Structure 1
Amino acid sequence: MTKGQNAGNGPIAVDVEKDKSYYWCSCGKSSKQPFCDGSHQGSEFTPLAYKAEETKKVFFCACKQTNNQPLCDGSHSK
């Protein structure tokens, strides 16, 4: 899978709610990082759905290089 353009140099912390779905921007062009705003249209990218299994803080990837999409795996510091 092609990885999107870098949209930040670290993870973006988000308090997610149990059973709610979030749509992570995979292209890196969204102005609403880390979430999709439709900027991918006309490209090979699509948003990635993330459904929260519990209410907690998670760290979404902003660099778009993670191998654990949509969550940060530290790829921004490699």
Structure 2
Amino acid sequence: MSHSPIHRAGNGPVKVELTQGETYTWCACGRSASQPWCDGSHQGTGIDPVVFVAERTGGVWLCLCKQTGTPPLCDSSHKKPSP
């Protein structure tokens, strides 16, 4: 199944504070107005958000370029040339 293009929501990561045991929904399509969080803008795109539970309380860097190989965490893919 094909899906709509993924939009780059930023050129670097964003640091967010998470709370251990809380569930979060990371935007994988890049369309959300609430980056890095999903606001439902992916509906009809064939792209699903990434739902995860924080393993610890504290700050983490989440991907905004949407090219990471370790979603939702930034892996510095924003520094690589676009294909």
TM superposition score normalised by structure 1: 0.94
Determine which structure has more spread, i.e. the larger CA radius of gyration.
2
| Superposition TM-score, scaled by structure 2 size | 0.88
How large is the RMSD of aligned CA atoms in angstroms?
Answer: 1.6
Mean alpha-carbon deviation: is it higher for 30-39 or for 44-53? 44-53
Structure 1, unmatched stretches of 5+, are none
Q: Which runs of 4+ in 1 moved over 6 A?
A: none
CA–CA distance in structure 2, aligned partners of residues 44 and 70 of structure 1: 18
Tell me the number of residue pairs that the alignment of Structure 1 and Structure 2 aligns: 78
Percent of aligned pairs sharing the same letter: 49
Segments of 5+ residues of structure 2 without an aligned counterpart are none
Which secondary structure state, in structure 1, belongs to the residue aligned with residue 78 of structure 2? helix
User: Hey, what's the Cα distance between the residues in 1 that align with 2:53 and 2:6?
Assistant: 21
